[in-house]
Amino acid sequence: MTLFGVIGAMEVEIALLLQKMEETAAVKTKQIASLTFYEGEIGKAALVLVKSGIGTVNAALCAQILISEFKVSHLINTGIAGALSKNLGVLDVVLSTDAVYHDFRVTGFGYKPCIIPGMKKSVFTADSKLIEKAKNAYTSAHFVHNLYTGRIATGNIFVDQTSEKARIISDVRDLDGISPIAVEMEGAAIAHVAYVNQIPFLIIRSISDTADESIEKGEYKEEEAAKVSSFIVQSILED
């Protein structure tokens, strides 16, 4: 049985999906570790939806609970992100090809930035079938914003400085020559948990900002971007 676990960090990132669940069928709630998990359906797809809170530990906690307690078969992370690639515009959509921690540094022992010592992998690959499903959902929904696939960088830093943005791109690219195209604060943690549990995952993010000083000028589209990402997830589940 396919059961999706869907994680958003903030209320605005899950609100539309929860509303759609409530319109579709009865929604059950369960409290675990001070978190509220919503069990229900969108279309004919069964899912468990949760607001994790911001950051990698919160995201990983939710992902493992979804796997261990609810026995989800797939994980989807929905929400907003900052653009690292110059090609991305605000409200464009990014599907992860893979994900990596940009703030993992054990360089004093000879490791490259972003490498996790003791792990077979430090770059976590998204599920190709979910990527194709998301692409099809995007196409059928006739979104006006552009769709990109690429690497997502994750860390416990809200990136709003050009210097930090450049550092992230450089460190991640130094791993294997592949540059990240978007940055956020939860995706790689969810991908990490999915990897060790052998669960397929996908990160779906809409661009809210350009991860630089423009945020200080009010150029930050949190609510609008969260809605775009939610619509993609909804379209996947209704497909």
Instruction: Give the pLDDT of residue 239.
Output: 80
Instruction: Give the pLDDT of residue 218.
Output: 67
- On whether the CB atoms of residues 147 and 205 are closer than 8 A, the answer is no
Beta bridge partners of 49: 6, 38
Cα radius of gyration (the chain): 17
Burial (CB count <10 Å: 0-12, 13-18, 19+), residue 39: middle
Exposed e or buried b per residue across 21-31, where buried means at least 16 C-beta atoms within 10 angstroms of its C-beta: beebeeeeeee
Q: What is the pLDDT tens value at each position of the chain, 239 positions in all?
A: 899 999 999 999 999 999 999 998 899 999 999 999 999 999 999 999 999 999 999 999 999 999 999 999 999 999 999 999 999 999 999 999 999 999 999 999 999 999 999 999 999 999 999 999 999 999 988 888 999 999 999 999 999 999 999 999 999 999 999 999 999 999 999 999 999 999 999 999 999 999 999 887 667 899 999 999 999 999 999 98
Instruction: Give the pLDDT of residue 220.
Output: 83
Q: Which domains are delineated in the chain?
A: 3-238 (3.40.50.1580)
Question: Which segments of the chain are extended strands (E)?
Answer: 3-8, 28-32, 35-42, 45-51, 74-83, 93-101, 123-125, 147-154, 180-184, 201-209
Helix extents (H) in 69-210: 128-141, 162-176, 187-197
Instruction: Give the pLDDT of residue 75.
Output: 99
How far is 134 from 73, CA to CA, in rounded Å?
A: 17
Which pTM value belongs to this model?
0.96
Instruction: Give the pLDDT of residue 48.
Output: 99
Q: Six-digit token pair at 38?
A: 């919503």
22 as an active site residue: the answer is: no
Q: Are strands 45-51 and 3-8 parallel, antiparallel or unpaired?
A: parallel
Active-site residue identified among 11, 13, 69, 92: 13
216 as an active site residue: the answer is: no
Active-site residue identified among 171, 186, 209, 212: 209
